[in-house]
């Protein structure tokens, strides 16, 4: 590691989203190119930077900055370059030299304390002097505060975040309650704030630290899918993280409750604690569900049986009793749930409900939690479906963890019925937002598979609503979507009920017993590249999807993507590539969008249509990488072509392999899934069932027969701690609702 000092001369490139910057610095009279992540960078700033020298194949020697700090130059040469850098209006190199020649090493002291003396320099008149004083005063405040912050051992990046938030109050906030930063500055969590507080000398038992630590411990609800923690869990977790006695935690818990930061409740005879927003979301959802359920939804003068018979005739189908009951229930109830596995006729019911509602003049909308799920229901029904975020008109905000919507109780959805597919993927926060925007009289039809994995976010909405037993639930078990040879749906049913499936090597459901990790990886690569394409005619990239329950390991998603890229899209002089972090992206790669980007512009490949919006889970091919334009282009599977800037590479990932959670809401012609040992939390029946039901034409499970059997026996994954079911029941039994 080396250290260099100098002033910013020219900013060549800057990525505002992650701070990556290419800039020219004046380092003791030499122009040096510096690359690295700067929270903010302004012309003329004088920095001390630590890093190492690298040689760029196109741009020569560069200094790769690892850390930096703001400083004040002390030599006359450094002061001259600092003033000549453009930091002050009206001062160029000639004037800077004149100032330093006149005042010497006292120049900056003169600027700080007696700037009017600059008028002694020829060429600096009243107007120029006024401009210099105004800018320098602001720069001085920034510089002095930044240097003070850095004296506490805080990095320049975090120092700038603090200054941008608190301005002149920065030092006061730091010295009084550094944990305030957690609420005020995105990206600063408890661990970073605690490190800063320790550098500032705060005691481990300080009330502010304990309060922040309890909130941090309670935030684990979001990672585990819970809406609350029991008192014992919260006290034990907080005590361990903070390194203080449980008595201290219990005392401060009372303070947090009084402050309204967390909510204390009794659930199933246990004292529990909620983050406030999860409590409000769960309670609001329960109340809204109870109100919708209690509503009267009758359609007078309507022969529904005749409508159903006409639908059957037009579609050349015969509905069974359960399907008929589902369509009728959608007319008579405020909310119903239609649940069932693949091939059980959910889409047939949705089509029937939409058609009959349309004939009655009722406006119906279709929605799903993800973009891929919305596209799939659009394709299978022929009716446009939107993501729930799009339906509720997502409003852009800095905090993507807690989105806001323009559709709410004051601006509700003007529709008569809402059909939501893949409802098992809806977390409690999104469900609360959806129900808030539903006005009285609107029907809600929730469709999904209650036996799939629950939502990534907190809550277990579909399961809890079903178990409340106050909503009309139609459980579909009869399998329709199968041919004489198909075993995917049949075996999925068996797995879901804890039974060992029929592993028939002549069917479309195959299990290959492989216990050697290296051999397993080799076989996956061979299956994808030539064995399946040669034997079945499927295309390696377009049709075959590898799904893994793990991210790490030889057959985890990370390594699988690297290995599959190596055999399906190896390096070539004819294909440009670009390194991003530890990953190399190459033209021709199979990639996936991993965050919703509602403002991303697209046009279809034929140039006939254009619009905005690319969604988490969208899959496509990386078409081009353009170093000159600093951009790359992806053609998604639905024909949308999107041009990204290089600084948006954090929005994509390779998609040769994906996790089971990422695969939810999608179906693929062929699915290959390795089954190896791992944490019981990940290897369970729900996860296996979810993966199996992603395959449409061919499923190949390969790995340990023992682990396969254990997953089937394991039953549900770890139960989530929620109280939505109990709250719905309480509100239903409340005569005032």
Residues in binding site for ATP? 343-347
**Per-residue tokens: 704:** 């340990």
Other CB atoms within a 10 A radius of the CB of residue 318 amount to 9
Closest CA to 435 of 361, 334, 297: 334
Contacts of 659 (CB under 8 A, 6+ apart): 547, 548, 549, 550, 551, 557
Closest CA to 713 of 500, 492, 488, 489: 500
Cβ proximity of 646 and 17 under 8 Å: no
Q: Edge-to-edge, what's the strand order for the sheet holding 364-368?
A: 385-387, 364-368, 417-420, 443-448, 335-340, 472-476
Task: Read off φ and ψ for residue 583, nearest 5 degrees.
Answer: -115, 145
Other CB atoms within a 10 A radius of the CB of residue 191 amount to 11
**Per-residue tokens: 638:** 């639905």
Concatenated DSSP letters of 360-427: TT--EEEEESSHHHHHHHHHHHSS-EEEHHHHTTEE--S-TTS-EES-BTTB-B--SEEEESSGGG--
**Per-residue tokens: 52:** 């190492």
Cβ proximity of 675 and 709 under 8 Å: no
3-state secondary structure of 1: coil
Question: For residues 248 and 452, what is the distance between their CA atoms, to the nearest angstrom?
Answer: 41
Question: For residues 664 and 517, what is the distance between their CA atoms, to the nearest angstrom?
Answer: 26
**Residue ranges of the binding site:** 343-347
Cβ proximity of 50 and 34 under 8 Å: no
């Amino acid at each position: 590691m080396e250290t260099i000092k100098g002033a910013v001369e020219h900013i060549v490139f800057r990525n505002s989203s992650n701070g990556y910057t290419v800039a020219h610095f004046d380092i003791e009279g030499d122009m040096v190119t510096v690359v690295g992540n700067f929270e903010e960078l302004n012309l003329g700033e004088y920095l001390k930077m630590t890093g190492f020298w690298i040689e760029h194949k196109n741009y020569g020697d560069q200094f790769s900055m690892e850390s930096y700090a703001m400083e004040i130059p002390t030599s006359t040469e450094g002061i001259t370059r600092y003033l000549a850098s453009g930091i002050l209006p009206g001062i160029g190199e000639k004037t800077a030299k004149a100032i330093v020649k006149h005042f010497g090493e006292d120049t900056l002291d003169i600027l700080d304390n007696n700037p009017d003396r600059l008028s002694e320099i020829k060429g600096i008149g009243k107007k120029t002097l006024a401009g210099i004083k105004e800018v320098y005063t602001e720069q001085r405040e920034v510089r002095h505060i930044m240097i003070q912050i850095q004296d506490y051992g805080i990095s320049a990046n975090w120092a700038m975040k603090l200054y941008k938030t608190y301005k002149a109050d920065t030092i006061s906030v730091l010295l009084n309650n550094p944990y305030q930063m957690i609420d005020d500055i995105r990206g600063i969590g408890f661990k970073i704030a605690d490190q800063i507080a320790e550098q500032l000398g705060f005691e481990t038992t300080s009330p502010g630290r304990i309060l922040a630590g309890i909130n941090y411990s309670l935030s684990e609800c979001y990672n585990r899918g819970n809406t609350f923690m029991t008192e014992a869990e919260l006290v034990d977790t907080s005590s361990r993280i903070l390194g203080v006695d449980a008595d201290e935690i219990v005392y401060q818990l009372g303070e947090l409750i009084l402050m309204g930061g967390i909510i204390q409740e009794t659930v199933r005879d246990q004292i529990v604690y909620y983050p406030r927003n999860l409590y409000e979301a769960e309670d609001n959802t329960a109340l809204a569900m109870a109100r919708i359920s209690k509503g009267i939804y009758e359609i007078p003068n309507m022969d529904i049986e005749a409508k159903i018979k006409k639908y059957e005739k037009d579609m050349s189908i015969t509905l069974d009793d359960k399907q008929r009951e589902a369509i009728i229930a959608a007319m008579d109830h405020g909310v119903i749930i239609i649940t069932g596995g693949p091939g059980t006729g959910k889409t047939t019911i949705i089509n029937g409900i939409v058609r009959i509602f349309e004939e009655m003049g009722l406006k119906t909308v279709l929605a799903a939690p993800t973009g891929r799920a919305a596209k799939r229901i659009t394709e299978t029904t022929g009716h446009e479906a939107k993501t729930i975020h799009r339906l509720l008109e997502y409003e852009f905000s800095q905090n993507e963890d807690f989105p806001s919507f323009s559709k709410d109780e004051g601006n509700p959805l003007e529709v008569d019925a809402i059909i939501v597919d893949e409802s098992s993927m809806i977390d409690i926060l999104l469900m609360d937002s959806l129900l808030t925007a539903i006005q009285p009289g609107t029907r809600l039809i929730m469709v999904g598979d209650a036996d799939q994995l629950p939502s990534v976010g907190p809550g277990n909405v579909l399961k809890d609503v079903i178990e409340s037993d106050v909503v009309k639930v139609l459980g579909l078990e009869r399998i329709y979507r199968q041919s004489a040879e198909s075993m995917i749906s049949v075996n999925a049913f068996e797995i879901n009920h804890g039974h060992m499936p029929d592993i028939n090597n002549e069917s479309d459901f195959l299990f290959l017993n492989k216990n050697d990790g290296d051999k397993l990886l080799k076989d996956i690569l061979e299956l994808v590249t030539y064995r399946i394409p040669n034997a079945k005619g499927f295309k390696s990239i377009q049709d075959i999807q590898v799904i893994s329950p793990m991210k790490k390991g030889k057959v985890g998603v990370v390594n699988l993507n690297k290995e599959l890229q190596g055999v399906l899209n190896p390096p070539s002089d004819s294909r440009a590539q670009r390194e991003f972090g530890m990953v190399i992206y190459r033209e021709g790669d199979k990639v996936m969008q991993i965050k919703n980007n509602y403002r991303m512009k697209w046009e279809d490949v034929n140039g006939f249509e254009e619009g905005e919006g690319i969604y988490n889970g969208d899959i496509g091919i990386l078409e081009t990488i353009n170093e000159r334009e600093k951009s790359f282009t992806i053609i998604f599977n639905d024909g949308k072509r999107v041009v990204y800037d290089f600084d948006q590479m954090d929005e994509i990932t390779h998609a040769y392999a994906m996790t089971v959670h990422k695969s939810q809401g999608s179906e693929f012609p062929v699915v290959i899934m390795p089954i190896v040992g791992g944490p019981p939390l990940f290897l369970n029946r729900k996860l296996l069932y979810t993966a199996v039901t992603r395959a449409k034409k061919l499923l190949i499970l390969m790995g340990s027969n023992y682990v396969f059997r254990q997953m089937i026996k394991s039953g549900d994954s770890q139960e989530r701690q929620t109280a939505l079911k109990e709250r719905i029941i309480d509100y239903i039994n409340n005569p005032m609702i």
